[in-house]
């Protein structure tokens, strides 16, 4: 049993970024888990822990994948299949586990959900990550909205950078132009959509409407990853400046996060210009300010806290895929609790404990016995030959 859940981390991991990733995924899982609690606890959880954790993931992904992309373009520019190599390595990490969970959900819905109508359009949209490209995200796999945004980042941003390079721009200039251009265009699009909504609709705008119209679409959130790409740009080309004020920037970033959550959000309604257009920008910028310090923060591979944070970071993606639709909707919500336990408080406590236990346990199993073996196929000679990779 001990070996079943053992995952060995890479000794070269950056502990500061693991801390950020672990905190973000714990906020995600904790936020979803609050739906299992009484309403008063849901409100309390949202009040103190409802930070924009997905913005942190977007900026972190933009930073890490952007750094890989920059190094690839600078060192392998002009090499055959350079871009295909980049895409394949990214997709071997994210797509197999996502497709597995998506197929499981489709089968469960077809077999056990009354009124579920199977249409080729539904799985096709999810398999091509187009389910929320320009429209509201459907309900089949609700947490997949953010993964769709990241996958379009992997696909589109390298192509835009290459387009600038085709215009005789350097790699450095092309990356900067791409990040700034996409950031401005997406922000302006949110402004356009906001101004397109009637004043009477905005006056009575609900959090669910804001969520679907502004928060969960590719076209409205792609700019979040650009802040991370700008961070990777600064770290690669201006490392001395990147690290020079890292402690000051860390304090400023934390202050902005807290200010936005406890001061601004409590006095701004969902239909405001700030909340619909600039809220996402402020949160992404706040996360960017944390990166100079955290990207340079390392720790020796020792101690219980180190191991826990590192392992949570390692399984953050499986935790994200499993916690809501699989564990909460298809396992816990299907158990006839009232027929087994009569005490309401015991039911709530048991469900909440099982939510965390099953989510973490299944995530460890998924990562070790499916995700990692699939990812290792990237370096398999037969697979590389079949895909015609270098």
Residues 185 and 322 in one domain: no
Sign of CA dihedral 162, 168, 172, 173: negative
pLDDT > 70: percent of the chain: 89
How many residues appear in the chain?
390
- State how far the Cα of 263 lies from the Cα of 76, in Å rounded to an integer: 47
Identify the CA nearest to 321 among candidates 122, 95, 131.
Answer: 95
139/275 same-domain check: yes
For residues 109-131, give the mean pLDDT. 81
Q: Are 62 and 227 in contact (CB under 8 A)?
A: yes
**Measured at the alpha carbon of residue 380, what is the angle toward residues 377 and 385, in degrees to the nearest 5?**
115
SS (H, E, C) 200-212: HHHHCCCHHHHHH
Q: Is residue 61 located within the same domain as residue 42?
A: no
Averaged pLDDT, 337-357: 89
Tell how far CA 78 is from the center of its chain: 31
Q: Is residue 292 part of a domain?
A: no
Contacts 24+ apart (CB under 8 A), 70-79: 70/171, 70/175, 70/232, 70/233, 70/236, 71/236, 73/161, 73/165, 73/171, 73/175, 74/171, 74/236, 77/171, 79/390
Q: How high is the pLDDT of residue 168?
A: 85
List for the chain the helix, strand, coil content (%; round to 5). 80, 0, 20
Q: How confident is the model at residue 298 (pLDDT cuts 50, 70, 90)?
A: confident
pLDDT for residue 6: 65
The phi and psi torsions of 245 (rounded to 5 degrees) equal -115, 35
Q: What percent of the chain lies above the pLDDT cut of 90?
A: 62
Whether residues 328 and 259 share a domain: the answer is no
- Indicate the Cα dihedral angle 355, 359, 360, 364, nearest 10°: 160
The confidence score (pLDDT) of residue 47 equals: 63
Of 263, 287, 311, the position where a domain reaches its end is 287
Report the pLDDT averaged over residues 328-345: 88
Residue ending a domain, choose from 287, 315, 337? 287
pLDDT on residue 112: 86
End-to-end C-alpha distance for the chain, whole angstroms: 39
Domain containing residue 24? 1-50+299-390
Residues 74, 122 within the same domain: yes
pLDDT value at residue 13: 85
pLDDT, residue 118, reads: 62
The DSSP element (H or E) to which 340 belongs, if any, is helix 337-340
Q: Residue 8's pLDDT band (boundaries 50, 70, 90)?
A: low
Residues 325, 139: Cα–Cα separation, whole Å: 10
In a domain, 293, yes or no: no
- 267, 287, 307: which is the final residue of a domain? 287
Q: What is the mean pLDDT of residues 322-342?
A: 91
State yes or no: pLDDT of 250 exceeds 90: yes
Query: Do 267 and 352 belong together in one domain?
Result: no
State the chain's mean pLDDT as an integer: 89
Of residues 219, 220, 242, the one with CA closest to residue 230: 242
294 located within any domain: no
User: Are residue 157 and residue 278 in the same domain, yes or no?
Assistant: yes
Residue 389 has pLDDT above 80, yes or no: no
At residue 121, the pLDDT reads 65
Q: Which token pair is 291?
A: 């990166």
- DSSP assignment of 253-274, as one string? HHHHHHIIIIIIGGG--TTSHI
Position 4 scores a pLDDT of: 57
Q: Stretch 308-318: mean pLDDT, rounded?
A: 94
| Domain identity same for 200 and 337 | no
Structural domain contains residue 263: yes
What DSSP state is assigned to residue 123?
H
The pLDDT of residue 52 is above 80:
no
User: What average pLDDT does range 246-256 have in this prediction?
Assistant: 95
Regarding whether 240 and 94 lie in a shared domain, the answer is yes
Q: Given a cut of 90, is residue 97 above it in pLDDT? A: yes
- Residue 207 pLDDT exceeds 70: yes
Determine the average pLDDT of the residues in 199-217.
91
The tokens describing 158, both together, are 């390298």
pTM for the model stands at 0.93
Give the number of domains in the chain.
Answer: 2
For residues 29-41, average pLDDT? 85
For the ranges 9-13, 107-111, 118-122, 293-297, which has the lowest average pLDDT? 118-122
The per-residue pLDDT for range 163-198, each reduced to its tens digit, is: 999 998 899 999 999 999 999 999 999 999 999 999
Q: Is the per-residue pLDDT at 379 higher than 90?
A: no
Q: Are residues 167 and 86 both part of a single domain? A: yes
Cα–Cα distance for residue pair 334/13, rounded to 1 Å: 39
Q: pLDDT band for position 390 (50/70/90)?
A: low
Let me know whether 188 and 43 are in one domain: no
Residues 45 and 69 occupy one common structural domain: no
More confident residue, 334 or 80: 334
């Amino acid at each position: 049993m001990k070996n079943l859940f053992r995952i060995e981390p890479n000794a070269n991991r950056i502990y500061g970024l693991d801390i950020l990733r672990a905190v973000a995924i714990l906020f995600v899982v904790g936020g979803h888990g609050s739906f299992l609690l009484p309403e008063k606890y849901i409100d309390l959880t949202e009040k103190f822990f409802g930070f924009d954790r997905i913005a942190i993931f977007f900026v972190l992904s933009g930073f890490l994948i952007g750094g890989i992309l920059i190094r690839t373009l600078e060192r392998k520019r002009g090499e055959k299949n350079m871009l295909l190599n980049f895409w394949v390595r990214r997709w071997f990490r994210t797509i197999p586990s996502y497709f597995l969970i998506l197929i499981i959900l489709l089968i469960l819905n077809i077999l056990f959900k009354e009124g579920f109508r199977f249409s080729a359009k539904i799985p096709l949209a999810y398999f091509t990550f187009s389910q929320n490209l320009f429209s509201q995200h459907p309900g089949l796999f609700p947490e997949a909205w953010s993964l769709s945004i990241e996958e379009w980042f992997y696909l589109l941003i390298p192509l835009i950078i290459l387009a600038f390079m085709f215009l005789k721009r350097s790699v450095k200039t092309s990356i900067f132009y791409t990040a700034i251009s996409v950031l401005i265009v997406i922000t302006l699009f949110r402004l356009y959509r906001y101004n397109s909504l009637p004043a009477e609709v905005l006056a009575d705008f609900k959090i669910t409407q804001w969520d679907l119209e502004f928060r969960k679409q590719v076209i409205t959130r792609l700019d979040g990853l650009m802040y991370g790409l700008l961070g990777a740009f600064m770290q690669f080309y201006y490392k001395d400046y990147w690290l020079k004020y890292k402690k000051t920037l860390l304090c400023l970033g934390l202050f902005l996060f807290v200010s936005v959550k406890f001061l601004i959000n409590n006095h701004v309604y969902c239909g405001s210009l700030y909340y619909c257009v600039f809220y996402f920008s402020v949160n992404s910028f706040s996360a960017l300010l944390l990166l100079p310090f955290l990207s340079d923060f390392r720790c020796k591979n020792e101690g219980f806290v180190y191991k826990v944070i590192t392992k949570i970071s390692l399984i953050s993606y499986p935790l994200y895929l499993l916690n809501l639709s699989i564990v909460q909707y298809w396992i816990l919500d299907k158990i006839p609790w009232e027929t087994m336990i009569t005490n309401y408080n015991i039911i709530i406590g048991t469900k909440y404990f099982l939510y965390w236990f099953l989510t973490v346990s299944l995530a460890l199993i998924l990562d070790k016995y499916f995700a990692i073996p699939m990812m290792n196929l990237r370096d398999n000679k037969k697979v590389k030959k079949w895909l015609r990779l270098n």
